[in-house]
Structure 1
Amino acid sequence: MTDRIELTGLRAHGRHGVYDFERANGQEFVVDAVLELDLRPAARSDDVRDTVHYGELAERLVEVITGEPVNLIETLADRLIEVCLTDPRVTGVTVTVHKPEAPVPHAFTDVAVTMCRRRTR
């Protein structure tokens, strides 16, 4: 399957991190999600019900980002993957969580974790 829906640069304020100040102040997280699924039904019908509604997906992902804090962005990425896999049409998903304001004592552009999962049948 080579069909994909890509949602990149989704931004939301979360309170994830291992340090107390990260939980207290929070910071911006940026998420990229790539969903693998067969898009032929949607292309043929021209009906949003035959695909993953990326606006609704974005809302659900933001709920996770702004929701219950976790220590690691690996845990956050795993939770986001679970949201993406709730739609049975999704056969695989890749999620990248960027933490551009991570407490790193050196100049850097980004810290990110990427996780990939395939649906097990």
Structure 2
Amino acid sequence: MDKMYLNKLAFYGYHGVFPEENKLGQRFIVDLILEMDMSQAGKTDNLEHSVNYAEVYEAVRQIVEGPPKKLVESVGEAISSELLEGFPLIQACQVKVIKPDPPIPGHYESVAIELRRTRA
């Protein structure tokens, strides 16, 4: 299966378990791998035979910047569901949701979840 990568999509959202996360918000980074057959797009040079990554970005933005969820797992699940429902060419998607600044003590770069979903 061919793959389309969208890397380090950056958003500001209000997801988290703690009240201050829902009030103050924080940065979220999303990495996507979209699996589909791109042979027709490559042969025809026609966007109608591919997935418009500007539309993918907007779909993800609406979720991450939308209503708060407690868990990044829920954010990732919402993203994968929207991608598979809204973009028929996508056969599978891998979604990584990165939380660079979670409210936990210690030294680290980020915390993240990653999930992969396929068309049923």
Tell me what 2:99 maps to. Answer: 99
Distance in 2, matches of 1:56 and 1:90, equals 13
Question: What does residue range 1-121 of structure 1 map to in structure 2 within 5 Å?
Answer: 1=1, 3-86=2-85, 87-120=87-120
User: What stretches of structure 1 move > 3 A for 4+ residues in a row?
Assistant: none
Whole-Å Cα distance in 2 between the matches of residues 45 and 113 of structure 1? Answer: 36
Q: Deviations over 1:56-97 (max 9, x none)?
A: 110110010000100000000000101211212111110000
Q: Which runs of 5+ in 1 are unaligned?
A: none
Alignment partners' CA distance in 2, 1:41 and 1:84? 20
CA distance in 1, matches of 2:81, 2:5: 16
How many pairs does the alignment contain?
119
- How far apart, CA to CA, are the structure 2 residues paired with 1:49 and 1:104? 45
Give RMSD over aligned pairs.
Answer: 0.7
- State the identity as a percent: 33
Query: TM-score w.r.t. structure 1 length?
Result: 0.96
